[in-house]
Every structure is written in C-alpha cells, then in structure tokens.
Amino acid sequence: MEGPSLPNLPREVKPAGSSDVLWRYSANPSIDWSPKPSAVRTYNRAVVPFGTEFAGVFRSDHKHSRALRHVGFSHDALR
C-alpha cells in the first residue's frame, strides 16, 4: 500500500502464531447488526481519520429491501 501513515488509527497487533496478512478485529463486530430500527443488517464498515476524530461509512440492508450507505462519527474509531 502507498499513502501517508495513519498513526492515530487504532489497530490490533497480529494474533500470536498467525501467518495471515489480514485478520479480523477480535471484538468484531464492533457495531450491532442493526444499529438503526429500519436496518436489517449492516456491513462493510470503513473508518478514516476526520479532523481529530474519525468518520465511518456503512452499508445497511433495510426492511424496504434497499441497501443504503450511512455515515457516522467517532472519537476512537471503534464506538
């Protein structure tokens, strides 16, 4: 990957003994499946630094059968 370093982005150290290039956060999922009453499931979370905090983008499948994207903001990129 190329790009600027993101030192304030939280990360989890690779689990001991793992040879995987990527691994799931041990507390996944970090958001509920249905954080909104109209959502059935929420997937594909992406978090980026935004000023001194973080912004997240989510795809949620809704009860009306449409997938919509949502944005959220966080102090720690996890909650």
Q: What is the pLDDT of residues 44-60, one digit of tens each?
A: 778 888 888 999 888 88
Structure-derived torsion over alpha carbons of residues 21, 22, 25, 30, reported in degrees to the nearest 10: 170
State the DSSP string of 11-35. --PPPTT---SS---TT--SS-S-S
**For 60-73, how does the pLDDT look when each residue is reduced to its tens digit (9 = 90+)?**
888 888 888 888 89
Q: What is the pTM assigned to this prediction?
A: 0.63
- Other C-beta atoms closer than 10 Å to the C-beta of 34 total 15
